[in-house]
Amino acid sequence: MKKIHYSYDKKSLVEIIKLHNIDINLLYTRYNICKELVKYVDKYNLHYLYKENLQPKLTIIKKKQIIYVAKQVSAYCLSYKPDEIFDTDEIFIKHVEYILPYGDTPSVRKAIERVNFFHPELHFEPNISDHTKCIIKRQQIVKEHIKPKGLKIKTGKFVLSFD
């Protein structure tokens, strides 16, 4: 019988349980949660729990710093005068490579997406954990089902009154 990798702490397991609405008591210890969660691995496609958790643990200060660098990279891509943000392209590329391991952060993914769009000669792939990939995939499925079927445009005279 396979076991959930020890790199997943109780907090991350509880997030997974809440995400998938799995009927497991969250007050259990990590050991008991792992025993119960193994039963649901096939049903909810949680096979990534058997591998090491690649999602790096970030302190608040480190996360703020990563988000700040990601915003700088995004601004560089969108700027009319990129020299105001980074002096050279080498510094820009060093900053992009610095944020690549933190692909689980949405602002990092957005910054890398902008780099790949505005600088097609450069191609970077952020490191995204299997858990985050699963969440993104579920969000895309939900967006596809919510998408409006067509565009409705109403024309004519409209009268607004503020009484």
Bigger pLDDT: 30 vs 146: 30
Query: Tens digit of pLDDT for each residue in 39-50?
Result: 998 888 888 888
Query: Tens digit of pLDDT for each residue in 81-99?
Result: 877 888 888 999 999 999 9
The overall average pLDDT reported for the chain is: 86
In this prediction, residue 2 carries a pLDDT of 82
Residue 6 has pLDDT above 70, yes or no: yes
Token reading at 101: 């391991």
Residue 155 has pLDDT above 80, yes or no: no
In this prediction, residue 67 carries a pLDDT of 94
